[in-house]
Amino acid sequence: MTVASSSPPSRLPLSDAGAVAPAKKARARTRGDGALAAVFIAPAMLGFLVFLLWPTVRGIYLSFTRFNLLTPAEWVGLDNYVRMVNDPIFWGSLTVTVEYVVINIGVQTVAALAIAVLLQRLTQSALLRGIVLTPYLMSNVVAGLVWLWILDTQLGIGNEIISALGFDRIPFLADDTWAIPTIALINVWRHVGYTALLLFAGLQAIPNDMYEAAKVDGASEWRMFWRITMPLLRPVLAVVLIMTVIGSFQVFDTVAVTTAGGPANATNVLQYYIYGSAFGRFQFGYASAMSVALLVVLSAITVLQYRLTRAGQTDLG
């Protein structure tokens, strides 16, 4: 009689058995981290959905309707967009906005870059950085009102100084030639410190060894700026330009408290015209159509800037 042989139960090698428990713990920890991350992200995601995504979708829908808050929205198709294309005030507002953006971005970028380089090359004092940032801590409304008083044609201290020097008083905010450049420079004064600190942070990522090596080779500060600083700062500068251009196209509060779109629509920027159409004339459908047009313009400009400046690439190896 033969006895059936029974083989002992298979066992994992000691090395494999030792790896099973840590792997299970890692999976459990990953699941736990995912749940914790979802908890922290939930408030921001809720805010994004309620205050950004839903208003955007709602605005796109309203752009195809005639809506005045008093009656239900009436679908009109592309009528608002046809009206916008044939609206000379819309095109005038867009032209004024582009003029503002060109002056604001041009002056602000050059000034902020100069301040950032001086802070990085000459001194890194926290006190000076705080002083540079001080105007940004003031709201746009307050800054606009302060400069409105300073630049008042009759009583402003700015024009008092100009008059004392023997020059004619300048109607900075009351003349169609001076108004937009003045508003642009007011916002340059307020935002240049913040922009400079963003660029200063980018300059901190450039290795100081490169400047020391260039000095040994006899390079001047001007040459080091164009050969080292600008190429290596390009990605940060590109992102800052994208942010500032988008913000400049959305200018509203400074215009609202200083000129209210005047004189003769000389400062009637697109955001102010949209606001007037919606809350002044209750043409919410038409205002939504202009908002969608602004969204498309800003999206196209952002993509173009990103590609032309190669913002996603860096020369730091």
pLDDT for the residue numbered 21: 55
Return averaged pLDDT per consecutive 10 residues of the chain, 317 residues in all: 49 51 59 82 94 94 93 94 96 96 96 91 80 90 94 92 93 93 96 93 88 88 88 90 93 94 92 95 95 95 88 66
Contacts with 138 (C-beta within 8 Å, 6 or more apart), sequence order = 146, 190
CA 181 to chain centre: 20
Q: What is this structure's pTM?
A: 0.84
pLDDT value for 1: 44
Q: Cα–Cα distance between 254 and 177 in angstroms, integer?
A: 17
Give span(s): CATH 1.10.3720.10, the chain: 89-309
pLDDT value, residue 20: 53
The pLDDT of residue 25:
59
For position 2, what pLDDT does the model report?
Answer: 46
Q: List CB contacts of 21: < 8 A, sequence separation 6 or more.
A: none
Residue 24's pLDDT is what? 60
Q: What is the pLDDT of residue 220?
A: 87
Tell me, what's the pLDDT at 26?
Answer: 57
Give the CATH H-level superfamily of domain 89-309.
MetI-like (1.10.3720.10)
3-class SS string, the chain: CCCCCCCCCCCCCHHHHHHHHHHHHHHHHHHHHHHHHHHHHHHHHHHHHHHHHHHHHHHHHHCCEECCCCCCCEECCCHHHHHHHCCHHHHHHHHHHHHHHHHHHHHHHHHHHHHHHHHHHCCCCHHHHHHHHHHHHCCHHHHHHHHHHHCCCCCCHHHHHHHHCCCCCCCCCCCCCCHHHHHHHHHHHHHHHHHHHHHHHHHHCCCHHHHHHHHHCCCCHHHHHHHHHHHHHHHHHHHHHHHHHHHHHCCCHHHHHHCCCCCCCCCCCHHHHHHHHHHHCCCHHHHHHHHHHHHHHHHHHHHHHHHHHCCCCCCCC
